[in-house]
Structure 1
Amino acid sequence: MLSISSQHVSKILPKIEKTVNEQLETEVLGRSSNSSMTSYVVAADLSEMELKKILIEKMESNKHREYADKDEQPSAGSDWGSKRRREGKEPESTSAPKEKATKTIGKSTQGSKSHQRTTSESALRKEPMQTTQDLEEPSQ
């Protein structure tokens, strides 16, 4: 019943080999393309991680530099006299910036705001403005 002739096997065997080879090629090509795609994705992820690492290192070094700058004493000219002011050893009127005095012009009534003008503004309005013609030397 199960007698298969060698002729019959020789006819079927090439077809079986061809089908198996085609299936193997398809599987191998699919895996290799997936492998190359996977390699590309892994390389992209690795590059992204390296860039993030570089960025984090840069941010940390900047943070350390900022902390070091805060720990250092300020330069002598930048904050001169502030310690004496804080401790009350120097009167504030000599070292504190001067504020502009204001004066009220006109009468204020309830519900309306008074018009204020700084003394420096009124002084500017009274002084004549110099022009470049005033500054030039007369030609002979």
Structure 2
Amino acid sequence: MASLEIIMTKFRDRENEPDILKANWYIIAAPCIAAANAGKDVPELYRLATNNEPKERRLLIQRRLKEALLKTGVLYGFPRLLNALYPLFKTLDDDEIDNFSPRWDSRDSAEASEKRKVRAKQYFETIWTPAGAQANLDFNMKYHRDMSR
């Protein structure tokens, strides 16, 4: 048994969540592996998390792993993020790829685009207050318009 498998099995057993779609152990482990620049081990983590699961659940597990890595990549750097994602991608058969993407799937929807703008505005107003959010938007529009979208 490989050392990663031993560690992850202990981590999984400690959480003691029988439903893999409610478990957090592999969601926590993936960014840790990426941050440690051990991305080559992510496919092994995926194998451990998806062991004996039907295809539809494997796709959901994959989605959770990819999302965890993508959202944390800004913390440890995109080269390490890619070093974690690419080995995973290279192990997936074409029929094993989860292609769900809410932003991509709704990119041409005016309604979805408007909802994103409203949520973003609410978020920044909560973080910075309405006046602070508007000042930041104005500043970004003046110096670098791409930062405002």
Q: What TM-score range do you get, normalising by the shorter chain?
A: under 0.3
- Point out the structure with max Rg over C-alpha: 1
**What's the TM-score, normalizing by structure 1?**
0.18
Structure with the bigger percentage of strand = 1
Structure with the bigger percentage of helix = 2
